Amino acid sequence: MSGLSVKLKTPATGEYEQPTGLFINNEWVKAVDGKTFEVINPTDESVITSVQEATEKDVDIAVSAARKAFEGSWRKETPENRGKFLVNLANLFEKNIDLLAAVEALDNGKAFAMAKGDVGACAGCLRYYGGWADKIEGKVVDTSHDTFNYIRKEPIGVCGQIIPWNFPLLMWAWKIGPAIAAGNVVVLKTAEQTPLSALVACNLVKEAGFPPGVINVISGFGKVAGAALSSHMDVDKIAFTGSTVVGRQIMKAAAGSNLKKVTLELGGKSPNIVFADADIDNAISWVNFGIYFNHGQCCCAGSRIYVQDSIYDEFIKKFKERAAKNAVGDPFGQETFQGPQVSQIQFDRIMSYIEEGKKSGATIETGGNRKGDKGYFIEPTIFSNVTEDMKIVQEEIFGPVCTISKFSTKEEVIKIGNNTTYGLAAAVHTSNLNTAIEVSNALKAGTVWVNTYNTLHWQLPFGGFKESGIGRELGEAALDNYCQTKTVSIRLGDALFG
**Of 161, 174, 168, whose CA–CA distance to 232 is shortest?**
161
Residue 85 or 174 having the CB closest to ligand NAI: 174
Active site residue 207: no
Q: How many Å apart are CA 73 and CA 66, to the nearest integer?
A: 11
Minimum CB distance to ligand NAI smaller for 210 or for 398? 398
Interacting residue with ligand NAI among 107, 118, 236, 396 (CB under 6 A): 396
Of 21, 83, 109, 242, the residue at the interface with ligand NAI (CB under 6 A) is 242
What is the DSSP track for 102-136?
Answer: HHHHHHH---HHHHHHHHHHHHHHHHHHHHHGGG-
- Which residue from 10, 296, 290 is spatially nearest to 18, judged by alpha carbons? 10
| Residues numbered 5-64 forming contacts with ligand NAI, rule: CB under 6 A | none
- Judged by CB under 6 A, does residue 230 bind ligand NAI? yes
Q: Is 267 in the site for ligand NAI (CB under 6 A)?
A: yes
Going by their DSSP bridges, the two strands 47-52 and 158-162 should be labelled as unpaired
Taking alpha carbons only, the member of 483, 495, 482, 487 closest to residue 175 is: 482
Q: Residue 442 Cβ, how far from ligand NAI at the closest point, in Å?
A: 24
Choose which of 246, 254, 273, 470 interacts with ligand NAI (CB under 6 A): 246
The residue range among 66-74, 184-192, 332-340, 366-374 that interacts with ligand NAI, by the rule CB under 6 A, is: 184-192
Q: How far is the CB of 376 from ligand NAI (least distance, A)?
A: 13
192 binds ligand NAI (CB under 6 A): yes
Cα–Cα distances in angstroms (integers) from residue 98 to residues 91, 164, 199, in the given order: 13, 22, 15
**Residue 63: φ, ψ to 5°:** -65, -40
For position 393 contacting ligand NAI by CB under 6 A, the verdict is no
Cβ atoms < 10 Å from Cβ of 376: 27
Give the residue closest to ligand NAI by C-beta: 222
Least distance to ligand NAI, CB of residue 10, Å: 23
Catalytic: which of 53, 104, 265, 379?
265
Q: Quick check: helix, strand or coil at residue 212?
A: coil
Q: In whole angstroms, how close is the CB of 468 to ligand NAI at the nearest point?
A: 8
CA 471 to chain centre: 13
Q: Which residues contact 355 (CB under 8 A, 6 or more apart)?
A: none
Per-residue CA distances from 283 to 127, 183, 290, 409 (Å): 32, 42, 10, 18
- The CA distance from 342 to 455, in Å, is 22
Smallest gap from residue 229 Cβ to ligand NAI (A) = 7
Number of residues that bind ligand NAI (CB under 6 A): 27
Position 341 contacts ligand NAI (CB under 6 A): no
Contact flags string 280-309 toward ligand NAI, x per CB under 6 A: -------------------x----------
Residue ranges in contact with ligand NAI by CB under 6 A: 162-164, 166, 189, 191-192, 221-223, 226-227, 230, 241-243, 246, 249-250, 265-267, 299, 346, 349, 396, 398
